[in-house]
Amino acid sequence: MPMKDEFKPKIVAFCCNWCSYAGADLAGSSRLTYPADVKIIRVPCSCRVNPMFILRAFEKGADGVILCGCHPGDCHYSTGNYYARRRMTLLFSMLDYLGVENGRTRVEWVSAAEGVKFSQTMNEFVEKIHSLGKNVRLEDLRCRKE
Amino acid sequence: MQRIGVFVCHCGSNIAATVDVKKVVEMAALEPGVVHAEDYQYMCSEAGQSLIAKAIQEKQLTGLVVCSCSPRMHETTFRKAAERAGLNPYMVEIANIREHCSWIHKDMEEATRKAVILARAAIAKVNLNTPLQPGESRVTKRALVIGGGIAGIQTALDIADAGYEVDIVEKTPSIGGRMSQLDKTFPTLDCSACILTPKMVEAAAHERIRIYTYSEVEKVSGFVGDFTVDIRKKARSVDMDKCTGCGVCQEKCPSKKTPSEFNRGLNNRSAIYTPFAQAIPNVPVIDREHCIKFQTGKCGVCAKVCQAGAIDYEQKDEIVTEKYGAIVVATGFDTIKLDQYDEYAYSQSKDVITSLELERIMNAAGPTKGHLERLSDGKPPKEMVFIQCVGSRCADERGKSYCSKICCMYTAKHAMLIRDKYPDVNVTVFYIDVRTPGKNFDEFYRRAVEQYGVNYIKGQVGKVIPQPDGKLLVQGVDLLDNRRIMKEADMVVLATAIEPNPDVRKIATMLTASIDTNNFLTEAHAKLRPVESPTAGIFLSGVCQGPKDIPETVAQAGAAAVKAIGLLAKEKLTTNPCTAKSDELLCNGCSVCANVCPYGAITYEERQVNDHGIREVRRLAVVNSALCQGCGACTVACPSGAMDLQGFSNRQIIAEVDAICR
Amino acid sequence: MQEGMKNGCAGAPAVLLERISTLLAEGTVARVLGWKAGDMAYNPEPAYFETQEALKDFVYDGFCGANLSKYMIEASKLEGKTLVCLKPCDTYSFNQLLKEHRVDREKAYIIGVGCGGKLDVEQIRRKGIKGIQSIDGAQLVWEESDPGTELKGIGDDVLTIRTIYGEKTLPYGEALLERCHVCKGKEHRVYDELIGQSRDTKDADRFAQVERIEAMSPEEKFAFFQQELSKCIRCNACRNVCPACSCRKCVFDSNKFDSSQKANADSFEEKMFHIIRAFHVAGRCTDCGECSRVCPQGIPLHLFNRKFIKDINELYGTYQAGENAEDKMPLTSFDFGDAEPGIVGERG
C-alpha cells in the first residue's frame, strides 16, 4: 500500500494531436502502463505550446512538464515541431540558467506508431521527477493549499 | 455561464472495470458550469446518443463533456449527436478516460482519481468554448497524379473513367515506371510489358488524361479541393508536336557512352534517347549533360538528320501552373544503394548483380538480348547464387528494418525461369525466411523447389569473394544443418531492399504530407484509411506508402482513385473551423506570425480601427481561414497574444493546465 | 558650447545643434526627437522640439543614454518627418522596429550622433560618491572640421562631481553604463546623416557575466536570481522602455492568458514575467541595455536577454538583431539539424 505521505508528482504532458496523442492512444490500446501522475493535454501541434503554458503549469504546482510531438520531418503541418524545438530549447536553457533542475522539462518526439516509446518515456520521466522531488523553485507559493 | 452536461461512458467494462464511473459523475457534478452528469454503458451507442440529445433539450445544455474513449475515435460521433440535438458541435469536449486512463492503470482508486482530473480539465475547457462555424470552400474538378508508373497510370485511368480530368506528372522521359523494366511477373509468369503497355497507351490516348513527362512538381500551395501546383516541364530539346518518333536521331547520335538508366547502367545509350522502345510519349529527350552540342557547341548531328525539324536546342524549362482538387502521390521506389554492403562484392565484380539488373538481363530487349550471361566475360553461368534480404529486415543502420515484401516471390520467379530455360544451371537461394502470403504464392514457391529443383538454403551469406579465375566464392551458413558452406558461383544475385523514391521527401514537404522514418508516406489510419494521407486531399497509391507487389499496387491505385473521385464529386467542402484568428486591437502588425505560417495563410492589411476611441489606420494580420490548417505556430510567435487558435485558445489550454494542477 | 543651461546641464555640441536647427527651419523635418535637460544634471530626458526657439533646451551629452528609437513608433503616425538622434546602438533597435513594420523609415530623418560611451549615475554612486549636486565633464567635444578625428581617450577624461560633501573626481571610463563596456561597435546601422565622433569603449567580454552564472551550481543560480528578482516591484519600467517590447498591449495587461499583472510577492510571479518578457524579445532584442539602465531596483535585467542571445549564437549561428532590416529572425526560422532541447542538460 502506498504510504500516506508518498510523493505524488503532478505531471502535465502536452501531446500533438497527430503523432504523440495517437502514440498515447496506442500505448493505451496496447495496455502499456505508465504512472497515473501523467495527465495529457491535447494540442494540435507541438508548435501550439506556448512557454506561458509550461510556466503556468509550474506556477500552479506541476512538478514536471513534458512536450511530445511528431518526429522532426514528420510534422503534420510540416514545420511546426521545428519551431517548437527552438522555442523549447531556449526556454529550457533559461530555466536551467535560473537554477531550475533541468530534468523537470523534457521534449520527446513520439510518432503515432510508438506506443512503446510513449509509455517508456512517461515511465522514465516520472521516475526522473521522483528523483528530483517536489518542485519548489518554480511554484507560486501563494497557490499552495496548506 | 455555460450549462454543461457530463456523460461518463462505461465502455462495457473497458472503462468501468478500472474507473469508478459513479464517482466520476459525482465529482464532475461539483464542477463549475455543470448542470447535468450521468453515466451509461455505451455512450457511443444509439441509446447513449439519445441520452445526450435528451439532456441537451431538457436541461438546455450549452456544452458537453463526454468521458469516454479517445477523441480520435468518437469525437466526430458525439459532435454529430450534439448537432442533431441543436447544439453547436464545437461545444463538445472529450475526456479520454479509456486509452489514457482505464486501459493503462490497474489501481481503481488511482485510475478514478485521474479520470476525475481529466474530466475536470475537459469541463474547464468547455467553459471557455465558443460555437464555431465551419466555412465552405470550392472543389476544382481535376486531379493530379505524381508519378507515371503502374500505380499512377491505374489511378489516373480510374479517375478519368469516372469523368474527371487528370494530369500525370512523370519525372523521367516516359511513363511506365519500374514495371516497364520487369521481364515477367509472378505468380503467373506473364510478360510485364504485355500487360503494362496497353495501359500506358490507354492513358496516353484518354481524352481526360494529360501526361507531363520529363516534368517535376515544383511548388504546391492551397489546400484540399483547391491546390495550386507549379509543374516544371524540363527542356526536352525536342519539339513534342513535330517529332515523329522515327528514332534516326538516336541511331546517328555520336555520343553513345551514357549508362542507360532503363537498363540499370548495364549498357549505354545515346545522348538523345527514349528510355525504351515502347516509351510513351515516343519522343526522345536530349540529355544535355552528355550531349556534345551542349557541352562543346560542335555537333548538331541530330538536328541535321531530323526530317521533321523537331530538334530545338534553344528550348527552355517551362513552368506550368495548374489547379487541382485532389493530389495522388504515386512516386514508387528504387533499390537501395549497396555501398554499405561491400561484403557481397557488388562493387568489385560485374557478376554480382541486383535482382532488378537480372530482370534486364533476362529481358529480350535488355542489354544481353535476353541471354543469361556473365557481364564480365559473356559466358553462360553454371552456378548461380541468390542472396535474400540484402538490406531488408536489417537490425543495424546499414539497411532497412522492414521486409521489402516482393523479393521472396521474384527470386522464386527468377530461379524458376532460369531452371526452365537453362536446365543445366544450378540455382541456390540463401534465405532467412521464405515469405509467400498471397494468392497462389506458396504454390508458386513450392513449384520452384519441387518441380524445378531450386536449392533453397536457410542461412545467410557472410561474404562473396571474387576469385582470380573469375569465379565468386560464396561463404555462407546452412542453419538447418548447422554447417558452413563454401560455394563457387558464376553469378550472384542480390535481392536488394527497396526504398521509396528519394524524391518523395521533397514532395511530401511540398504537400505537407507526413512521412515515416523510412520515407514511406504515412496513411491517415493504418487500418481504416490506408490510401489517404493525414493531409486532406492527398492520396497514396503504390509503393510510396509501403512495399507491395503489382496486384496490390493496382488495387491500392484503384482505391486511391475512388477516394479522389469521392472528393472531386463534391460541390463544396466544409473547412475546419479551428483556425487562427487575430484580435485586431492587440495586433502589432509585426509580421512575426506570417513568418512561421507554413500555409501562407496570413496576410496584412492597412485597416481603420477604433481602439477604445482612438481611431487610426493600422497594419493588421488577417488569417485566411480557408488556408489556415490550425497548427497554432503563429499563436506562440505572436508576442502580444493577438493571435489565438479557435478551439484551442490560450485561455482554454491554460484552464486545462490549471484544472490538472489544481 | 552653450552656456548657462538648466540645472548645470552640459548642452549639446554646436555642430549638432546648428544642423538640427537648420533642418527644422528649412521644413525638412516637422519636429526633432532628442533630449532635454532633466531636473538634475545627470538625467536628461527624451523630448520633442517643434520650434527653433524650443531647441534651447536641447541636450546631447554623456548622460543621454536613452534610446529614442521606440518613440519613433508614435512619431511615425504624426504628420511630416521627425528628426531623431540615434546613437550607434540605438540604430540596431530602429532597424529591428523597421523589420517589424512598427516604424516608418519615410517618416524618420535619422541623425546618427557620435557616442563616446554613456554615463551611469548609479555607477558613480556605487563608487561611493553620494549627495551629487552637479557633474562636469559629461559634455561632448566634437571637432567641427574633421568628423573623422578620434576623441581623446577615455582614460584622459575626468568627471568632476560636486557633492554636498565636496568635490570628487572620477575617470569617465569608470562611470560608464554596463552596456558601453561591451559595446557592439560605433557603426550606425541606419541613418540619413552622421554628426560627431565616436570612440571605442569596449573593454569587457559581452557574455562574461552570463558565463559566470552558467558556471554556478543550480542552487547558486537559483539563489542569485531569487535575490535579484525579489527586488522587482513590477513597475514595468523595463517593459516600457524596451524597444522590442513594443506591443500595443502587453500580454501581462490583457486577459488573453489569464495572466494579468498581480501584486509583488516572493513568488514565481516575477520570474514568469521576466522569463516571458525575455522570451518574447528573444531574437529581437538588440541588447541595447535600456532595461537594466532604467530599472529602479538595479536588477541586471540584461542578463536574461543576453542569455538568450548567447544561446542563439551558440546553437543557431551568430545573430545580431537589428544589424539589418532583412535577416530572418532566429525564432521564426529553423534548421533541419537544430539541436534537440535535451542539449540543455547535456551542456551541464
DSSP sequence for C200-233: ----S-TTHHHHHHHTS-HHHHHHHHHHHHTT--
Residue A146: pLDDT above 50?
no
**What nine digits make up the cell of A46?**
507541438
Residue C140: the pLDDT is 83
Residue B338 lies in a domain: yes
Q: How many CA atoms lie within 13 A of C275 on its CB side?
A: 29
Whether residues B344 and B458 fall in one domain: yes
Whether residues B14 and B60 fall in one domain: yes
Distance CA B72, CA C151 (A): 70
Q: Are C170 and C159 in contact (CB under 8 A)?
A: yes
Domain count, chain B: 5
ipTM: 0.95
Cβ-Cβ contacts under 8 Å, C223 against chain A: 99
Chain A residue closest in CA terms to B109: A36
A22 touches chain B (CB under 8 A): yes
Residue B381: pLDDT above 90?
yes
Note whether A18 contacts B534, CB cutoff 8 Å: yes
Whether residues B155 and B72 fall in one domain: no
* Confidence grade of residue C347 (pLDDT, cut at 50, 70, 90): low
Q: For the domain that residue B153 is a member of, what is the CATH number?
A: 3.50.50.60
Count CB-CB contacts under 10 A for residue B87: 23
Note whether C344 contacts A103, CB cutoff 8 Å: no
Chain A residue closest in CA terms to C335: A82
From the list C225, C268, C343, the residue facing A59 with the nearest CB is C268
Whether residues B180 and B277 fall in one domain: no
Range B491-512 average pLDDT: 91
Cβ-Cβ contacts under 8 Å, C218 against chain A: 96, 99-101
Whether residues B40 and B96 fall in one domain: yes
C77 touches chain B (CB under 8 A): yes
Residue B508: pLDDT above 90?
no
User: Residue written as cell 550471361?
Assistant: B373
Whether residues B321 and B345 fall in one domain: no
B654 touches chain C (CB under 8 A): yes
Distance CA B49, CA B82 (A): 8
Distance CA C221, CA A102 (A): 12
Please report the residues numbered 581 through 600 in chain B whose beta carbons come closer than 8 angstroms to any beta carbon of chain C.
Answer: 583, 585-592, 595-596
Range C193-198 average pLDDT: 90
Whether residues B475 and B435 fall in one domain: yes
| Cis preceding-peptide flag for B534 (omega within 30 of 0) | no
Residue A144: the pLDDT is 44
Residue B393 lies in a domain: yes
Residue A140: the pLDDT is 52
Residue B346 lies in a domain: yes
Q: Are A80 and A45 in contact (CB under 8 A)?
A: yes
- What is the per-residue pLDDT across C26-70, written as a single tens digit (0 to 9) for each? 999 999 999 998 888 888 999 999 999 999 999 999 999 999 999
Q: Measure Cα distances from B620 to B31, B464, B597, B616, C328 in Å.
A: 39, 68, 15, 12, 20
Residue B136 lies in a domain: no
B4-9 and B63-68 as β-strands: parallel, antiparallel, unpaired?
Answer: parallel
Residue B599 lies in a domain: yes
Give me the percent of chain A exceeding a pLDDT of 70: 91
From the list C99, C257, C332, the residue facing B650 with the nearest CB is C257
Please, which chains are in contact with C (at least 3 CB pairs closer than 8 A)? A, B
Residue A18: the pLDDT is 87
Local structure of residue C347 (DSSP, 8 states): H
Q: For the domain that residue B57 is a member of, what is the CATH number?
A: 3.40.50
Least confident of B77-81, C170-174, C207-211: C170-174
**What nine digits make up the cell of C251?**
500580454
Count CB-CB contacts under 10 A for residue B85: 17
Closest CA to C257 of B181, B372, A135, B635: B635
Chain C residue closest in CA terms to B643: C256
* Confidence grade of residue C2 (pLDDT, cut at 50, 70, 90): very low
Distance CA C138, CA C121 (A): 11
What range does the domain containing B339 cover? 334-499
Kind and range of the H or E run holding C343: helix C343-347
Closest CA to B146 of B70, B244, B232, B80: B232
Note whether C247 contacts B640, CB cutoff 8 Å: yes
Please report the residues numbered 316 through 335 in chain C whose beta carbons come closer than 8 angstroms to any beta carbon of chain B.
Answer: 328-329, 331-333
In chain A, the largest separation of any two C-alpha atoms, in whole Å, equals 47
Range B341-345 average pLDDT: 94
Cβ-Cβ contacts under 8 Å, A139 against chain C: 268
Whether residues B343 and B437 fall in one domain: yes
- What is the per-residue pLDDT across C113-129, written as a single tens digit (0 to 9) for each? 999 899 999 999 999 99
- What is the per-residue pLDDT across C321-330, written as a single tens digit (0 to 9) for each? 999 888 889 9
Q: How many angstroms separate the CA of residue A10 from the nearest CA in chain C? A: 17
Whether residues B485 and B526 fall in one domain: no
Please report the residues numbered 283 through 312 in chain B whose beta carbons come closer than 8 angstroms to any beta carbon of chain A.
Answer: none
Kind and range of the H or E run holding C16: helix C14-26
Q: How many angstroms separate the CA of residue C90 from the nearest CA in chain A? A: 26
Cβ-Cβ contacts under 8 Å, C304 against chain A: 94
Residue type, B383: E
Domain residue spans in chain A?
11-143
Distance CA B91, CA B494 (A): 58
Q: Measure Cα distances from B36 to A130, B115, C223 in Å.
A: 38, 17, 49
Distance CA C328, CA C311 (A): 17
Residue B242 lies in a domain: no
- What is the per-residue pLDDT across C287-301, written as a single tens digit (0 to 9) for each? 999 999 999 999 999
Residue C144: pLDDT above 80?
no
Note whether B72 contacts A21, CB cutoff 8 Å: yes
- What is the per-residue pLDDT across B16-34, written as a single tens digit (0 to 9) for each? 999 999 999 999 999 999 9
- What is the per-residue pLDDT across B290-314, written as a single tens digit (0 to 9) for each? 999 999 999 999 999 999 999 999 9
Higher pLDDT, C270 or B468: B468
Residue B513: the pLDDT is 77
Distance CA B159, CA B568 (A): 9
Residue C269: pLDDT above 80?
no
Residue C263: the pLDDT is 52
Chain A residue closest in CA terms to B522: A74
Mutate to test the interface with A, among B514, B522, B592 (most CBs of A within 10 A): B514
Closest CA to C313 of A88, A90, A98, B639: A90
Which residues lie across from B324 on neighbouring strands? B227
From the list A59, A82, A92, the residue facing C338 with the nearest CB is A82
Residue A87: the pLDDT is 96
- What is the per-residue pLDDT across B580-631, written as a single tens digit (0 to 9) for each? 999 999 999 999 999 999 888 899 999 999 988 989 999 999 998 888 889 9
Residue C1: pLDDT above 50?
no
Distance CA A108, CA A19 (A): 11
Q: How many angstroms separate the CA of residue B612 from the nearest CA in chain A? A: 27
Residue B114: pLDDT above 50?
yes
From the list B99, B515, B633, the residue facing A25 with the nearest CB is B99
Which DSSP string do the residues of C277-336 spell out, in sequence order?
A: HHHHHTTT-----HHHHH-TT---THHHHHHHHHHHHHHH----TTS-S-SPPGGG---T
Chain-centre distance of CA B569, in angstroms? 23
Residue A142: pLDDT above 50?
no
Residue C109: the pLDDT is 97
Please report the residues numbered 45 through 104 in chain A whose beta carbons come closer than 8 angstroms to any beta carbon of chain B.
Answer: 45, 47-53, 56-57, 60-62, 70-71, 73-80, 83, 87
Note whether B100 contacts A25, CB cutoff 8 Å: yes
C-alpha radius of gyration, chain C, whole number: 21
Chain B residue closest in CA terms to C280: B639
Q: pTM for this structure?
A: 0.75
Whether residues B230 and B252 fall in one domain: no
Residue B620 lies in a domain: yes
Domain A11-143 sits in CATH 3.40.50: yes
Whether residues B322 and B350 fall in one domain: no
Chain-centre distance of CA B148, in angstroms? 15
Residue A139: the pLDDT is 64
* Confidence grade of residue C266 (pLDDT, cut at 50, 70, 90): very low
